[in-house]
Homo-oligomer: A and B are copies of this chain.
Amino acid sequence: MSLLVVGSVALDSVETPFGLKEDILGGSATYFSTSASFFTPVKMVAVVGEDFPQAHLDFLKGRGVDLEGITREKGRTFRWKGRYGWQLNEAETLDTQLNVFQSFSPKLPESYRDAQFVFLGNIHPELQSQVVDQVKGPKLVAADTMNFWINGSRPSLLKTLKRVNLLFVNDAEARQLSGEHNIVRAARAILGMGPQRIVVKRGEYGALLFDQEHIFACPALPLADVFDPTGAGDTFAGGFMGTLATAGRVDGEVLRRAMVMGSVMASFTVEKFSLERLREVERNDIRVRFSEFKRLTHFEELGPLDG
């Protein structure tokens, strides 16, 4: 079934101890779509500037991403500038320029309006709501957010959350949003705000899926080399939503598989810089890594004679 994403498409410039990389393809919708594209075609809604290279659009198109919802506006593309120190595992943000995203007003092409699975990337809650206005009866509306909106646009976010079926947050965001320190209490509080399900992303500690009655815990793959965690959360969401859209349904078994697939995809992203690893990954790599996750977690139930 169809999968729609609205989010940022960016040009990133990154300083490393080994040199400067400028204007490389980035953005939350980019990571999401590249990840999800292994599972299902993705319909993207975003805005880029006059300076956005055609080559990047060709890359996305080559991945089966539907670009009809991407508009090219006068002005510059959303830009992010970061710097990696010798730690090499997290970038320090030097500069963020919204540019054309400043006045972004998502308009869904007609062909997008019956998307069954919708991912509202991390943008202003009001814009997220506008996208929900334009889809007709999706099976699942999922959303991501960040401390910037939780703190700065809380009333708008709370309104939008009433229309969201599944929210992705990290530990800190869950705590900020709910006012609870304990993660179970935080999740329960957020479940009371609209979403029927919450995914709490915990970086190297894995992820938790909550609904009113159940919790599912999925680990992150322990890796000796975590090169660049940028985009891992969006990659996770892409693998997750891609799995749901492929299955065409939302039940316990599919949700669990979606959690693991999200973790599988994120485990690739962090292994190399930016989108490099995702560009190389093949479907068989995904199968193999999914099996690694099974081996990482599997244990037998107690037998009747066991203590």
- Taking beta carbons and an 8 Å cutoff, which residues of A are in contact with B? 38-39, 182-185, 188, 202, 204-206, 208, 214-219, 222-226, 243, 246, 253, 256-257, 259-260, 283, 286-287, 290-291, 294-302, 306-307
**Whole-angstrom distance between the Cβ of A257 and the nearest chain B Cβ:** 6
Identify which of B219, B226, B307 contacts A217 (C-beta below 8 A).
B219
Residue among A39, A296, A299 with max Cβ neighbours from chain B (10 Å): A299
Residue among A225, A246, A287, A306 with max Cβ neighbours from chain B (10 Å): A306
Task: Decide: B39 and A246 in contact? CB cutoff 8 A.
Answer: no
Task: Decide: A222 and B183 in contact? CB cutoff 8 A.
Answer: yes
**Whole-angstrom distance between the Cβ of A180 and the nearest chain B Cβ:** 9
Counting every copy of the chain, the complex holds: 2
- Neighbouring B residues of A223 by C-beta, 8 Å: 182, 184
Task: Decide: A224 and B185 in contact? CB cutoff 8 A.
Answer: yes
Alpha-carbon distance between A294 and B302 when the two chains are bound, in angstroms: 10
**Whole-angstrom distance between the Cβ of A271 and the nearest chain B Cβ:** 13
Please name 18 pairs of A and B residues whose Cβ atoms are closer than 8 Å in the assembled complex, sorted by A: A39-B307, A188-B224, A202-B205, A205-B205, A206-B206, A215-B296, A216-B296, A216-B299, A218-B297, A218-B299, A243-B307, A246-B307, A253-B299, A253-B300, A256-B300, A259-B299, A286-B307, A297-B299
Alpha-carbon distance between A184 and B307 when the two chains are bound, in angstroms: 32
Q: A215 with B224: in contact, given A38-B307, A294-B301 (CB under 8 Å)?
A: no
- Neighbouring B residues of A222 by C-beta, 8 Å: 183-184, 208, 215, 217
| Other A-B pairs, 12, CB within 8 Å; known A184-B222, A215-B296, A256-B298 | A38-B307, A182-B224, A185-B224, A205-B206, A206-B217, A217-B296, A253-B300, A256-B300, A257-B300, A257-B306, A286-B307, A294-B301
Q: A299 with B215: in contact, given A182-B224, A202-B205, A226-B182 (CB under 8 Å)?
A: no
